[in-house]
Amino acid sequence: MKMNHVGIMVGDMGKAVEFYTHVLGLRIVMNNTKVVEERETAIGRMCIAVFGEGFEGFNIAHLVTTDGIGVELFEMKNRDERHDLNFARLGIFHFCLQTDDFERVMRKTEEFGGKVRMDVMRYHPEDESKPAKMVYLEDPFGNLFELYSHSYEETYASEYE
């Protein structure tokens, strides 16, 4: 299988689109679009099946990474402004993007209302031949994301050889 997309709940669609495009460099495929609760279309019926009766509607935007992975942003009508990170909760924990410019992304994350959760660290500080780095950050809505300097395989392959 290949990864197709990830869906992320946000509290303010305009702010979210600005963050994900200006900070993380994603490209807009379909900008902020209203979806209302209805049964006349396949999308309407699918939304009722997923969100349940009475979800009232939401805004959605479709973005894409440079390697073609989709990012759907959802802004529900009835929502909390920001969720608390609960590391004991089951489910999606974070998503990860790869970049060569940690400093720019970290600076812009804070500039656009996000949070840098830690200093950049190397996965293998004891081995100069393995330069992979990582850092955890948050978007303005409390969604956790990570940056890697190298591909997933490059970062982990030698770990278990």
Q: For residue range 75-90, what is the model confidence (pLDDT) as tens digits?
A: 988 766 555 667 777 7
Four-way CATH pick for 5-160: 3.40.50.2300, 3.10.180.10, 3.40.50.300, 3.40.190.10? 3.10.180.10
What is the SS3 string spanning 94-123? Answer: CEEEECCCHHHHHHHHHHCCCEECCCCEEC
Summarize the confidence of residues 131-150 as an average pLDDT. Answer: 94
Give residue-wise pLDDT tens across range 17-68: 999 999 999 999 999 999 888 889 888 888 888 888 888 889 999 999 999 9
CA distance 149 to 155: 9
Percentage of the chain exceeding pLDDT 90: 60
pLDDT at residue 64, as a whole number = 97
